[in-house]
Structure 1
Amino acid sequence: MPVLVTDYLWTQTDSAVWLTVPLKGTKVSNVDILSTDEYLKVHYPPYLFEAFLFEPVDDDRSTAKVGNGVAVFSMPKRTNKVWEHLMTTTNDKEKKEVRERSLLKYQEKLSAQSISKAKKQHADKKYALERMMKLEKEKKDGIQKIKEKEREKSTAELTAWKLRQKQRAEQEDQLKDHSQGQSRDGLQSMTEKQENACSHGASCKRDLKSDSEAKSKSKKKDLPAPRLVGNIQVTFTPRLFLTALRETRVIEEEEWLKQQAEARRTGNADVEELEDLKREERNPDWLKDKGDKCFMTGDHLGAVNAYSLAIRLNRKIPALYSNRSACHLKLKNLHKAIADSSQALDLLIPPVCANAAARTRAHVRRGSAFCQLQLYAEGLHDYQAALKIDPDNEALQADTQRIREIIQGTAASH
């Protein structure tokens, strides 16, 4: 049997009623509210509050605020008048009918809201699809216009080239006719000379030779002109990331690559202080691998020492700070874990796909340290930042929801 709540408070004006129901320390998520224009129910096991209202209210304009251990309801009246009581006095049969009628109305209201929400989502999807199709069409139309311009340009160039070829062929035909006329005149003069004087035989041979040379030259001129040649130079932009060009941020990616290259070249340790180290111990990458192995074997203090020495050699590698933060978490050095994670995030800029996983780990480690210090709001902020980078991570989703529940439970208890 539920425990009926009787220590409620209510007040009214001619146009509205305000009702305050105590929640007796229960969590907000455990409160079940059902309201219509004539019935109100607040159920939080094992407590139950029911109100069969004296007059109908406007349920569509009614509001409810749950928090700080109370539920406050604001209900506008349908008729402007002062009520004698908050609840009407009815028998059990009438109360049962009111409950059933209110439950049916509430279910219809939820169904209508669900249908309205589905229609809105469908309309949003339809609008997004139409917008995307419109953008694709505009893009295709733009490409088609460029193609048409290039086609017109190529057609004009081809027409001009054909005209030049035709003019060149006409000039060669005129030159050929002129050379043939000269050849005929030469032959006629040679024949006259042979008939008149045989002494000019040698001269005739030379004329015949020159005539044959002229003919061979004219034949060469009949050949078509050689085709025009040219070189087309094709260059491709180098792509160091696999992201599509329309989706990537080229400037940020190039800046990240430049930053990583600079970090590999930079060494800011005092060589005199580290001259006793071996050659491989002066390599930050070697020290990082050593720290990773120590961490895997459970030697967290040894891993911290390895990462710290690597940081002394090069303070611009974000993985060193992030990994040392994980070690500090294991050793319960929570403030140091927060400082190292923050330093790693400062170095993981600009945010690009290449460092997304590293940024996620750094946010999770700093958020975990905040939560262990009972700074749940700061921890939730970091987990939400990590979830924004990797929204499909189920473990992150579960941890973020757990932190929300802790915050809500803390607020409800106050």
Structure 2
Amino acid sequence: MPIAVTDYTWKESELDLTIIIPLKGVKGSKADIFSTNQYIKVNYPPFLFEVHLFALVVEEKCTAKVGNGVIEFVLIKQEPGTWGRLNSEESKEKSVMVEKRREAIEHVQKTASEVVEQKAKKKKEEETFAIRQQMKLEEDERERIETIKQSERDKAERELEAWKEKKKKVRIQAQPPKSQPQTTKSSGERNVIFKSDKKGQSAPPPRKSGSIQVRFTPRVFPTAARESKAQEEEEWLTKQAAARRITKDKDNSNGDINERNPEFLKDKGVDFFRTGNYEAAINAFSEAIELNPNLPQLFSNRAACYLATDDNDKCINDCTRALELFYPVVPSNYMSRSKVFVRRGTAFANEEEYGLAVQDYEAAVKLVPDDDSLKEDCVRLRVAYENRCIR
């Protein structure tokens, strides 16, 4: 049976009130505090403090401090005024207090569920926003490429028209002047006689016909070379080759189809990493990257393996690639980017590149400002860097 606390003190003003509850030698860490807008309960065995307030308070603005052998509540009143007493009239009856406890628990549960729903809604909105931003970036990139292509087409058309006009002028200038024919009629036939020039020479004969051999550079794409981008075409061909390789592997009935699935290989690599088999984990992540080089988690996980095996250069390269793939920077990938910054910063520190290491740790802290341990590591690294600069 708990012992009710009666030697508490309280005071009030027009706007707030303060309640001070003695801990009676019990450690503050053992105190279980439960409060709503009208009900407060503090349980620190074998003692129990419970009160049903005279009026409502603003739950979001109320605070509770534990220290110096007491628990101090500061409560903000919903409506200004003087209560004159702490407990409500109903708190004298035991059945009423039982009902108030039940209502307080239901109120807290309802509030907690609302908070969870709001967090889920916010997370969904952030994911939707990230998708829309990615779509907008892709649309802008397509429009930029199409604008460049159209500009190149217009330029090519203008150059072609100018070339045709130039050829036409050259051809006209190269043609000899036409001679005036003279006609005579004899025996019902019409003869055409051309005037000769001053030297008595006749007009030059027509040029002989011939053929021109034209050879075209072989291309995979149907578009002209001037309308294409070599880098984009090379990336497309690489992806097609990878897809054909995957299809060929799938047709091979002797292999395991799961070993050609990037997600399966990623999970397999994680299992190897957890057991300390870093070389096997690196092989699994490398196989997955060959199948799908656009998953940032694969580079991040392989970087962790390289860091564990003291291969700092490869760790730095994989972290840099992972940061390029974790784009655009949105709240949904803050935590993943923070981990990559920490791994790369640790690799830089191992290589005694403390300036770069401090930059990566500070970038990680900006993404996850609530991580106290990360802040402490960043401070220690900055102190070590400053001491090294002083020496």
Q: TM-score, normalised by structure 2?
A: 0.46
TM-score by length of 1: 0.44
If you compute each CA radius of gyration, which structure gives the higher value, 1 or 2? 1
Looking at secondary structure, tell me which structure has more helix per residue.
1
